[in-house]
Amino acid sequence: MSLPFIANTAALRELVQGALAKPPQTCSTACTSLGACVGWESITEDRWPAAHMQQLATLRDPEVVEPTFEEFHQSTRYDSPDAPIALKHFPYNRCDVWQCQCGRLFLRYTEFGGYYVDHRVRALNPALIVDVA
């Protein structure tokens, strides 16, 4: 089964609104063990609460073989808690959208280096979604 592709900010906002409308279940410590994740956090597989998470959609365009590494910032940086969520820019153009059973939404992508793999997670704050070409 392939994930739905979120092609624009309106579709992402619609997904967020629909996901947050579902009644949450009790989570105990599943996603709270991740912390706030307001900026990009490295989360190892053993810390990722997979049993409590549902993958909802992808922001990675299936038609683009190698998405850009260009970031979009005005007065922020990659790891800033208030960095904008710009879908066509790195790292959002490589993300999937996940939801914990308690209702929290997350963005997740994998950073690949020469000799390492680093899973990165950020809480999805709908107020930070921006329309950028």
pLDDT digits (tens, 9 = 90+) for 58-113: 999 999 999 999 999 888 888 899 999 999 999 999 999 999 888 889 999 998 87
Region of residue 88 (left: phi > 0; alpha: psi -120 to 50; beta: else): alpha
- What span, in angstroms and rounded, lies between the C-alpha atoms of 89 and 63? 15
Determine contact, residues 71/90, Cβ cutoff 8 Å.
yes
Look up residue 2 and give its two tokens: 């392939």
pTM: 0.90
* Half-sphere CA count of 104, side-chain side, radius 13 A: 24
Determine contact, residues 68/92, Cβ cutoff 8 Å.
no
